[in-house]
Amino acid sequence: MTNLNAVPFHEKSYWEDRFKREKHFEWLLTWNNIKSEIIPFLNVSDEILHVGCGNSTLAFDIFESGYRNITNVDYAENVISYMKSVTQKREIEAKINYSSISWYKGDCLYHLQSYLPKKVYPVVIDKSLIDTIACGDDDNQSRVKRLAAEILSVTETDGHWFSVSFSSEREYHCQMNADTNNVYHWKTKRKIPIQVTQLNDKPGAPPIYYYLYINQKIKVT
Ligand SMILES: C[S@@+](CC[C@H](N)C(=O)[O-])C[C@H]1O[C@@H](n2cnc3c(N)ncnc32)[C@H](O)[C@@H]1O
C-alpha cells in the first residue's frame, strides 16, 4: 500500500524545494558530538571528502579543528550555490581564508568521481546521506550498495569512511575489482552509539542514540 504521507527524502526535487526555504539544518549530530572518535584517524594535511553536505556547517566546524582541505558535494545545485555564498560571507565577516573549502554539485550514486577535483581521498564523511539513500530502497538495498561502491571508488586503500546514521542496522556491503589481482571492500571496524539530548526530553524518557560507523577500505586477501 502506498503511504501518501511519506516524505520523499530520496527525491532530488524534495531537497531542492527544501533548500529554497531552509538556510541551515544540522541532521542528527554535530561535529562536536563525533570529533573525538574521528580525529584520531586524521592527519592535518588530509583531504576530506564530505558527501551529501546540505546546508550543514560541518565543513567550517572541521576547519576550526585545524583540518584545512575539505571538499563538499551535494546533488542539489541550489544548496551548493548557497553554501558558496555562505563561505564568502563568513570569509568577509570572520576574516578567515576558506579557499581550501570547496563545494561541488554531484550525484553520489552515479559517477561520483567525475564531479571531484581529486581521484581519491583518505577520508570520507557522510552525515545522514546514507539514510536519505536508504529511503526508497528495494529489498536488496541496491541504492545503499551503490552508494557504498561509489564511495569505495573515491577512497584511498586503507582510507576511512565515517558514516553517521539514525539506524543501528546499516550495512556497507560492496566489492570493487580494481583489476584481476586487486579486490577491495568496506570493513566496518566500529559502530559507535552516540546518545542525543532532545530539547523536549521529559524526565524518564528513554535515551535516543544515533550511530557513527567507522568503515575502512580493505584489500581482500
Ligand atoms: C539528511 S540531509 C543531510 C545534510 C547534511 N549532511 C547534514 O548532516 O546536515 C541529506 C543530504 O544529502 C543530499 N543528497 C541526497 N541524495 C544525494 C545524492 N544521490 N547525491 C548527492 N547528494 C545527495 C541531499 O540534497 C541533502 O543535502
Name residues whose C-beta falls within 8 Å of residue 60's C-beta, 6 or more positions apart in sequence: 90, 98, 101
**Which atom of ligand 1 lies closest to the CA of 109?**
19
Helix (H, G, I), strand (E, B) or coil at 47: strand
Q: What is the CATH number of the domain that holds 165?
A: 3.40.50.150
Within 13 Å, how many C-alpha atoms sit on residue 99's CB side?
A: 1
Give domain status of residue 2, yes or no: no
Q: Which residue's CA is the nearest one to ligand 1's atom 10? A: 129
- pLDDT tens for each residue of the chain, 221 residues long: 455 678 999 999 999 999 999 999 999 999 999 999 999 999 999 999 999 999 999 999 999 999 999 999 999 999 999 999 999 999 999 999 999 999 999 999 999 999 999 999 999 999 999 999 999 899 999 999 999 999 999 999 999 999 999 999 999 988 788 777 789 999 999 999 999 977 666 777 888 999 999 999 999 97
Give domain status of residue 1, yes or no: no
What is the pTM (predicted TM-score) of this model? 0.95
Number of domains making up the chain: 1
Give domain status of residue 134, yes or no: yes
Q: Which residues line ligand 1 (CB under 6 A)?
A: 15, 25-27, 52-54, 56, 74-76, 79, 107-109, 127-129, 132-133
Give domain status of residue 156, yes or no: yes
Q: What is the 74 CA–ligand 1 centroid distance (Å)?
A: 6
Q: How far apart (Å, rounded) are the C-alpha atoms in residues 124 and 156?
A: 10
What range defines the domain where residue 64 resides? 12-219
